[in-house]
């Protein structure tokens, strides 16, 4: 019923649209009134609005997998499997010290640096790179709005998006 090219353009927005539809449903339940429906509708609308905001921010992490390699997230470890053995590696979220966004040769990369100085370069458009959004969201003090804005804009060549403070450690 819908043209394939239009369906392809709308597919990344599916989760955001579903969350917004749930907001509308929550507002409808709220409009029914009463001691039960007003709090229930408010709760549904608020939770769905937070979900819509989160879905919109995570959308920036999704892109066509055009870069070589695969990103995996397994038990608190970020793993980048590169076709050449130079760039690949594994880094525990517990040992992650710094996140930078680099623009190199027309391609955007995540530079993840560990406490001991090891670094991994992960192309933003590598297969599975959208998993990094949930990994980054668990880091203390990271502003996901800032990360999403850095991905969207043609900003500076090097942007430091997060550095672990000495007090904050994941346990």
- CATH code at position 94: 2.30.29
The answer to whether the beta carbons of residues 150 and 159 sit under 8 Å apart is yes
Angle at 30 between CA 28 and CA 34, to 5 degrees: 130
Q: Are residues 76 and 142 in the same domain?
A: yes
Q: Are residues 135 and 156 in the same domain?
A: yes
Q: Are residues 152 and 75 in the same domain?
A: yes
The answer to whether the beta carbons of residues 149 and 107 sit under 8 Å apart is no
169 within domain boundaries:
no
Q: Which residue range forms the structural domain that includes residue 121?
A: 67-163
143 within domain boundaries:
yes
47 within domain boundaries:
yes
171 within domain boundaries:
no
pLDDT band per the 50, 70, 90 thresholds, residue 13: confident
13 within domain boundaries:
yes
Per-residue pLDDT reduced to its tens digit, 122-166: 888 888 888 888 888 888 888 888 888 888 767 778 889 999 887
Per-residue pLDDT reduced to its tens digit, 75-128: 889 999 888 766 788 999 999 999 999 988 888 889 999 999 999 988 888 888
pLDDT of residue 59: 74
Question: Average of pLDDT values for 36-41?
Answer: 95
Q: Are residues 75 and 156 in the same domain?
A: yes
This prediction's pTM? 0.66
12 within domain boundaries:
yes
Q: Looking at the predicted structure, is the pLDDT value of residue 167 above 60?
A: no
Q: Are residues 52 and 72 in the same domain?
A: no
Q: Is 126 helix (H, G, I), strand (E, B) or coil?
A: strand
168 within domain boundaries:
no
Q: Are residues 84 and 43 in the same domain?
A: no
Q: Are residues 121 and 159 in the same domain?
A: yes
The answer to whether the beta carbons of residues 128 and 72 sit under 8 Å apart is yes
Mean pLDDT of the chain: 85
Helix (H) / strand (E) containing 16? helix 14-31
Q: Are residues 76 and 151 in the same domain?
A: yes
132 within domain boundaries:
yes
Number of structural domains found in the chain? 2
């Amino acid at each position: 019923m819908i043209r394939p090219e239009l369906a392809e353009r709308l597919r990344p927005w599916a989760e955001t649209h579903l969350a917004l539809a749930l907001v509308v449903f929550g507002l409808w339940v709220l409009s029914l009134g009463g001691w039960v429906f007003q709090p229930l509708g408010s709760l549904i609308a608020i939770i769905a609005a937070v979900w819509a905001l989160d879905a919109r921010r995570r959308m920036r992490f999704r892109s066509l997998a055009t870069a070589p390699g695969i990103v995996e997230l397994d038990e608190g470890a970020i793993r980048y499997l590169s076709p050449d053995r130079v760039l690949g590696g594994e880094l525990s979220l517990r040992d992650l010290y710094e996140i930078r966004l680099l623009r190199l040769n027309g391609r955007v990369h995540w530079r993840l640096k560990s406490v001991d100085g090891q670094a991994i370069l992960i192309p933003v458009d590598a297969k599975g790179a959208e998993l990094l959004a949930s990994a980054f969201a668990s880091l203390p003090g990271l502003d996901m709005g800032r990360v999403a804005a850095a991905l969207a804009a043609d900003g500076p060549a090097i942007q430091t998006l997060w550095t672990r403070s000495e007090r904050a450690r994941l346990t």
